[in-house]
Amino acid sequence: MRVLGVDPGLTRCGVGVVEGVAGRPLKMLGVGVVRTPADADTGIRLVGIERGIEQWLEEFRPDLVAVERVFSQHNVRTVMGTAQASAVAMLCAARRGIPVALHTPSEVKAAVTGSGRADKAQVGAMVTRLLRLDAPPKPADAADALALAICHIWRAPAQNRLQQAVALHASKGRST
C-alpha cells in the first residue's frame, strides 16, 4: 500500500509518501512541504496548495491519501486555515478517485509512539526510527505527514476487519 500523508496548513502543508504493509518494514518514498506566502490572499494560497498536492499525487500515485482530521482549537483563524488546506487535499484526491482517510492527531501519535500525548520531537524521533532515516524530517510538518501515512498503513487492516464485521452483522439483521 502506498499512502500520501498530508499535514494540512496554509503556510506549511506537510506531505510524505510511505509504502508498505502492516507488520513489515516501511519505506519512505518522499517527504516535503508545500509552502505558501503568509501575506498572500487565501484563495491564492489554496491554489498553491492544490498545485503542490497535485504534483505529489502525479509523481507518487498513492493508493490512498491520509489527512489529519481538523480538531477544534482556541484560535478560530488557525483552525479555518487548516480546514481549508485539508479540504484542498481531500478534493485533489477525490478528483482522481483516490480514497481519503482522516486520522486525529492523537490517533497518529498513539500509532507511531504508543502515546496519544507525544510531542513533536517524539513523533519525529519515531518516524526517523520506523523509516530508518538518518535524521528526522524537517520541518515538523513533514515528519507529521509521514506519521499520518504510517498510522494509516498500520491501522487500515484493523479498520477493514471492523467494517467487514459491522457489514456482516447488519446483513444478518436484515435477513432475519
- Sequence letter at residue 65: V
Which listed residue (19, 54, 141, 144) is catalytic? 141
Q: Within a 10 A sphere around the Cβ of 112, how many other Cβ atoms? A: 25
Q: Within a 10 A sphere around the Cβ of 98, how many other Cβ atoms? A: 16
CA distance 95 to 105: 25
Give the distance between the most distant pair of CA atoms in the chain: 61
Catalytic annotation present for 141: yes
Catalytic annotation present for 39: no
- Where do we find the cell 513533514? 142
CA distance 50 to 55: 9
Check: CB of residue 14 under 8 Å from CB of residue 143.
yes
Which listed residue (68, 107, 119, 144) is catalytic? 68
Catalytic annotation present for 68: yes
Query: Which residues have a Cβ under 8 Å from the Cβ of 59 and sit 6 or more positions away?
Result: 30
Check: CB of residue 156 under 8 Å from CB of residue 162.
no
- List the grid coordinates of 161: 476487519
Please give the positions annotated as active site: 7, 68, 141
